[in-house]
Amino acid sequence: MNIPNNITNICCIGAGYVGGPTMAVIAQKCPEIKVTVVDINQQRIADWNTENLDKLPIYEPGLKEVVQEARDRNLFFSAEVDKAIDEAQMIFISVNTPTKTYGVGKGMAADLKYVELCARKIAKVATSDKIVVEKSTLPVRTAESIKTILDAEGKNVNFKVLSNPEFLAEGTAIDDLHNADRVLIGGDQDEDGLKAIQSLVNVYSHWLPLERILTTNVWSSELSKLTANAFLAQRVSSINAMSALCEQTGANVDEIANAIGSDSRIGPKFLKASVGFGGSCFQKDILNLVYIARSYGLGEVADYWEQVIKLNDYQKRRFAEKIVKTLFNTVSGKKIAMLGWAFKQDTNDTRESAAIYVADYLLNEQAELVIYDPKVKAGQIYTDLDYLSTRSEEENKRLITIVNDPYEAMDDSHAVAILTEWDEFKAYDWKRVYNCMKKPAFVFDGRNILNIRIMDEVGFELYTIGRG
């Protein structure tokens, strides 16, 4: 197989939250490599090519500066999928792998139809040897399936499949790419496999020290991604479990997190109590891990990891129930301001956001919600709720108002619920807010970002996660 030591042409299939930023940084750091990001969604490609960089389809701090530096130099966004595949030496697959909503594995297994379509497209189009890189989060041994499809449908073309899972945190993705604590590359351990691994190592070594670029066999690489997300989510659910106990006993979960986080064996990260984790990866990857464990007959392992998800669902439901209970056991006809819809700060990604589930619960109780998020568009909010709820689109629109001014959201409201930890929420004129709200004035801080002493001075009844 013809495997170049130095790659000069890369194609990435998928211009989403992983493919777009990752390829932008590779192009920025490797100016001699042509990087083309392709997608069948022509509007998404048009959005990546917009002259107004503030309107890129993805919001990430630092992303527009990277795109501005590399775009039209050696970074290109195109809908010409076949052309980019044929010209590339290395092809990244970075498409969505949602949880299946049908058939065998429904609700747990990863839906790999888009990955399979990519493999078949590559095999059909390729006229020269290719290195194919899994960038999407995939279940263990997916590379084997991709290789089978490529070899079966490819015509006198050789393929080598690598696993290169992403470990980005949305909101800090650009910094995570620039200063990665590790890059993981898995591949076959034969001669061609090791050459393919080295060719990708050479790409990342443009800006990362070699000791941060880890190489493994392909199966270890695939499973490492699921394991990393499961461990991180487990920590969040663990501290959230303690938050419920703190509220009953009078303990303070922040003080407990500080105490145990000072233990060097535990560490302080991912120990902030909240209304629950969200995002595209944690829940999907744990459910995938549960499904894999069950498929191998490891019931106890599956039950262990499934409990992380159950606790997260419990925390979201508990937060919503607390709002209803505190507001005298009814929110029907009451205006509740929701601050934040993205699953975390510094991103416009709403996938599995706790805000969606809390809003759905309150809407089922006939609350009137006024929603503000600095980066999420109104259309996305309606789409999220219409997908989750059993209510009609008309009923959702009747009960929801989406505004561009946070003070408008909070004026004349019975309560404020903070669902995303945007920094701007801390700096609001809360005295002004208090004076314009119904009394008693309630704030439910699901992200623990507000100062209790200050809120007491203002006059709010402040409810936060995990403080008894």
Helix, strand, or coil (residue 158): coil
**Residues 96, 97, 103, 107, CA torsion sign:** negative
Q: Which helix (H) or strand (E) holds 9?
A: strand 9-13
Helix, strand, or coil (residue 373): coil
Q: How many whole angstroms separate alpha carbon 325 and alpha carbon 319?
A: 10
Closest by CA to 374, choosing from 168, 169, 96, 171, is 171
Query: Is 225 an active-site residue?
Result: yes
Which burial class, exposed, middle or buried, applies to 238 when counting CB atoms under 10 A from its CB (0-12, 13-18, 19+)?
Answer: middle
Q: Of 60, 134, 166, 222, which is the active-site residue?
A: 166
The secondary structure of 84-149, three-state, reads HHHHCCEEEECCCCCECCCCCCCCCCECCHHHHHHHHHHHHHCCCCEEEEECCCCCCCHHHHHHHH
Query: Is 281 an active-site residue?
Result: yes
Contact predicate 164/184, CB 8 Å = yes
Query: Is 12 an active-site residue?
Result: no
What residues contact 395, with CB distance under 8 A and at least 6 apart?
none
Q: How many whole angstroms separate alpha carbon 171 and alpha carbon 279?
A: 11
The CA angle 413-354-109, to the nearest 5 degrees, is 155
Q: Of 281, 306, 344, 368, which is the active-site residue?
A: 281
Q: How many whole angstroms separate alpha carbon 386 and alpha carbon 445?
A: 25
Radius of gyration of the chain (CA): 24
The CA angle 45-46-49, to the nearest 5 degrees, is 90
Helix, strand, or coil (residue 328): coil
Sheet arrangement for strand 75-78: 75-78, 34-38, 9-13, 90-93, 130-134, 159-163, 183-186, 213-216
Contact predicate 201/212, CB 8 Å = no
The encoded tokens of residue 204 equal 């990342």
Alpha-helix residue ranges (DSSP H) falling in 205-298 = 218-249, 253-261, 282-295
Q: Of 64, 225, 272, 334, which is the active-site residue?
A: 225
Active site residues: 166, 225, 281
